[in-house]
Amino acid sequence: MKKTALITGASSGIGLELTRIFAREGFNLLITARREERLLSLKQELEKEFGIHVHTFTVDLSLNDAPIAIFDFVKEEKIEINALINNAGIGDYGFFKDADWSRLSVMIDLNIKSLTHLTHLFLPQLMKYDKAYIMNVASTAAFQPGPLMSVYYASKNYVLAFSEALSNELADTNINVSALCPGPTESEFQDVANMKKSKLFDRFPVASSKEVAEYGFKSLMKGKRVAIYGIANKIAPKFISLVPRRWVTAAVRKIQERK
């Protein structure tokens, strides 16, 4: 039976590169995002290049009924999902007191709620196969508090903790669960999150989305629970654990501040 990967946020950045990698590796695809034109263009490209079948589903995953809509589409089309890639997510930059609540609410719904709901919906199906995969895209932001992006950092901490717990619960099953934790990465994220002027992208190495996606895919296939891309990013959590939390939070604030 042909393997099929469901990839959210597939139209740009890490999600786009993961989509190309899974196609290259012989997976059929169900790709979702808000931008239909990009999905249809990507479908045409991948079917032509790799000879696979690509389903598209245009949806805003921050909406309450979006995960159910995807699940119902999968049932109607009789698609067998072997890999669930929860990549969709957004950030926001600025002081919490100045933030627009509607933006924060969308972030929580997208980064946390939809990811959890999709995992809960598809887990029974994934457990039917000899081998199946769940990748949740977290961030190096998951390892410490993040002043000026407080809700985003907290949401990624949730993704990491949820993924590690789920991996433990499923350790004796057929499912690999991996949390991919990229650091600063070239993508639309910094534009959407209004981070162009943050020092973060000046002071730390910025990886390409393709590099991060390749590392994430290999880590998922190997069953790596927490996949942190980049040597400096791997060292940072170990160092953070040795330093008082107040100092860590103050240091993140300095890095996050505008130039």
**Closest listed residue to residue 138, CA positions, set 178, 167, 186:** 178
Strands (E), 36-174: 54-58, 83-86, 132-137
In the three-class reduction of DSSP (H, G, I as helix; E, B as strand; rest coil), residue 15 is classed as: helix
Residue type, 178: S
Spatial contact of 143 and 94, defined as CB atoms under 8 Å apart: no
* 185 alpha-carbon distance from chain centroid: 12
Phi, psi dihedral angles at 225 (to 5 degrees): -70, -45
Q: Alpha-carbon distance 133 to 32, whole Å?
A: 17
Q: Which of 152, 153, 158, 229 is catalytic?
A: 152
Q: Alpha-carbon distance 148 to 125, whole Å?
A: 39
Spatial contact of 47 and 58, defined as CB atoms under 8 Å apart: no
Answer yes or no: 229 catalytic: no
In the three-class reduction of DSSP (H, G, I as helix; E, B as strand; rest coil), residue 106 is classed as: helix
Q: Give the residue numbers marked as catalytic.
A: 152
